[in-house]
Amino acid sequence: MLVYLAKRGAARLSLLFGAGVVIFLLTRPLIADAAPGATLPAAIVAMIVQTRSLLGSDVAILTQFAEWTMSLLGGDFGRSAAADASTLTLIRQRLPVTLHLIAGGLALALVVALPVGLLAAARPGRALDRASRVLVFVTQAMPMAGVSLVLMLVFAILLRWLPAGGHVDPTTQPVRALAHLLLPAGALAIGLLPMLLCAIRDGARAAHGERHLDTARASGVSPRRLIWGRTLRLTLAAALVPIASLAGQMMSGAILVEAVFDLPGVGRLVIESLDARDYGLLRGLALASVMTMVATALAGDVLRGLLDRRIRSAS
Amino acid sequence: MNNATIDLDSADDPAPRRLRRLWHFLRRSFGTILALVFLSSLLAAALAPEPLAMLSWLAADTSRRLPWLAAFLPSDPTTLRVLSDVLRAASPTLGVSVAAAAGALLLGAPIGMMAGARVLAWIGRPLQGVLTIVDAFPPLVLALTVVVALDALESMRPGWKAPGAVSLSMVLALLLAPRIARIASKEMHQARREPHLAALRALGASATRIAMHGWLRRCPGPLVAGTMGLVGAAMLLETSLSFLGFGMPQNTPSWGTLLAAGVRPMLAAQWLPVVAPATLLMLTLFAVNLLAQALGRRLEVRGTG
């Protein structure tokens, strides 16, 4: 397990580093540094000077990158010039809204995808399997922005069943908060459904091919216990990596859904930082989003190792 | 005996057999044909010089000839204007998406194939590593950052201007290239395990020749199908970016900008400005995905794998 985790962790962390370099290069022309090299320890400055003599070129870029990395390691994600606050403070303020949205969307998508995917995989080619394919095909063709707007139009403006947007604190008014959350979470769930359903169905299909399930079936375990007890575990193990890769979809979706339903979450913070040309904030947000994705992927790896013993022992 | 003769007769007669084959083909590929018809009529309508004039003439003429249809046809100028705007937005959206998918193919296929081939892996692997970094981002976050960086570059150099649609399709191509590279390198890896390549190797063929054989047999089909699938993905991304105001330039109509412009009328319970682009976008995505699926099935590599 440790070897497995170390391997996966090294791969994911190198990706994080690469993404950090990309973010740095993209946002460097946008951000003016006050005094490059002023806050760096002497040892690193010496290293940079050495590299300069090796490369014989402009190394201001290296100084800036080292400075940025050092401040990141110290837990400083930069400041927002417009809001005059640190990026982390702003994210912490906005995070609950986004977390509620994502939790709601994921829960709604799972309520549909889990039973449909498991049962469809149990009887391939039958009606439910074909229906699940149609469902994937239809939801795949639904753009998140369009779905959000149409949901809002139908349920909030024409039928007036649900509020059109805004956020309510669920700790004080749980019922109203739920009503406010339902439409945005539904829109997000439709965006997540195709990939989630495919992951669960394919995972369950792969689990059905396992030999020890045949043994269990032959020894008289009832089909229901077979599906919900044994296949589910294997399915989750196989589907966890694709599900963890949904994190990118969730964050992209959160940006759109929060824009439509006027939710003050992290996704809205991204748009606000772009509108205010607050590039320091944008840089911190981009890095935080990549870190979230890497962390989710790592969590998926860990859970997969815990659920499927063969992965632990294989490496 | 009698039955057998009849069967032989009908089997020998080519005309019914051909008809039956045609019928089977039509039934199997009904969705594909429908998708093709939809896409081509959409393109024709989008490329018409005066969509507004065309639509109003069409509506007026049809209701004159077929009066019972008149109640269902739009007649007031605002509705016609919305519909013509939506039609006019089809060609920029489709153009950018197709260009983005083609760009992803041009960028991703060589990298993936080099990474999967034994000879060029030393160039391909690092390049594919760079592409996987793109996949570490939430797609929309990276797209927004790149678009803003390009924008700032433009404002810093006064003489230089990034053309909106072109730079947008380049950004989308970069975002989608990893998927193509993954398909290409996977096909190359699988090709390596094929018996006829082992035979070639045993005969002493060069690594380049083996790679070419593997490539010729496996790659083109999945790559074409994958690229078709990316057209839909590019359309989704383009709509999201344009909806947020960071995609197509404001003066170029696209379904994303039209959706954004439809929010205000929607709040006043005017549903057409939102529903029309959303519906057309969904139908187009549906058609494109159907085509991609059909292509994938048709170009699938049969045999060993």
User: Which pLDDT value is given to residue B162?
Assistant: 56
Cβ distance B149 to A30 less than 8 Å, yes or no, reads: yes
Give residue-wise pLDDT tens across range B34-48: 889 988 888 888 777
Rounded to the nearest 10°, the torsion over CA B60, B65, B67, B69 is -70
Could you tell me which residues come within 8 angstroms of residue B213 by beta carbon, excluding any fewer than 6 positions away?
B191, B196, B197, B200, B205
Answer whether B272 touches A (CB < 8 Å). no
d(CA B304, CA A278): 54
pLDDT confidence of A44, banded at 50, 70, 90?
Answer: low
Which residues of A are less than 8 Å from B267 in CB distance? 157, 164
On the question of pLDDT at A289 being above 80, the answer is yes
Chain A environment of B153 (Cβ under 8 Å): 29
Mean of the pLDDT values across residues B211-234? 83
Res. B304: pLDDT tops 50 = no
A63: distance to nearest CA of chain B, Å?
21
Name chain A contacts of B290, Cβ cutoff 8 Å: 137
Give the minimum alpha-carbon distance from A224 to chain B in angstroms, rounded to a whole number: 33
Distance between CA B294 and CA B296 in Å, rounded? 5
Lowest mean pLDDT among A213-217, B198-202, B208-212, B299-303: B299-303
Q: How confident is the model at residue A7 (pLDDT cuts 50, 70, 90)?
A: confident
CB contact under 8 A, A141 and B232: yes
Q: Which residue of A has its CA nearest to B137?
A: A290
Which positions ≥6 away from A203 have C-beta within 8 Å? A117, A121, A234, A235, A236, A237, A238, A239, A242
Whether A220 has a pLDDT exceeding 90, the answer reads no
Strand partners, A86: A79
Tens of pLDDT, residues B18-28: 888 888 888 77
pLDDT exceeding 70 applies to what percent of chain B? 88
A199 vs B190, residue with greater confidence: A199
- Per-residue pLDDT band for B12 (boundaries 50, 70, 90) equals low
The answer, yes or no, to whether ipTM is higher than 0.90 is: no
| pLDDT tens, residue by residue, B120-158 | 788 888 888 888 888 888 889 999 888 888 877 777 666
Q: Is the CB of A141 less than 8 angstroms away from the CB of B149?
A: no
Q: Is A80 helix (H, G, I), strand (E, B) or coil?
A: strand
Note the pLDDT of residue A51: 62
Percent pLDDT > 90 in chain A is 11
Instruction: Name residue B27's amino acid.
Output: R
Cross-chain CB nearest to A252 (options B139, B232, B271): B139
Token output for B3: 């039955």
Q: How confident is the model at residue B305 (pLDDT cuts 50, 70, 90)?
A: very low
> B139: which chain A residues are within 8 Å (Cβ-Cβ)?
248, 252
User: What pLDDT shows up at residue A59?
Assistant: 59
User: What is the CA B244 to chain-centroid distance, rounded?
Assistant: 22
**pLDDT digits 0-9 by tens, B32-85:** 888 899 888 888 887 777 777 777 777 777 777 777 766 666 767 778 888 888
Each residue's pLDDT tens digit, B153-192: 777 666 655 557 888 888 899 999 999 999 888 888 887 7
Tell me what pLDDT residue B1 has.
44
Which residues from A are below 8 Å from B278, CB to CB? 143, 146-147, 149-150
**Model confidence at B220: pLDDT above 90:** no
Mark yes or no for CB contact B259/A144 under 8 Å.
no
When scoring A149, A256, A258 by the number of chain B Cβ atoms within 10 A, the one with the most, hence best to mutate, is A149
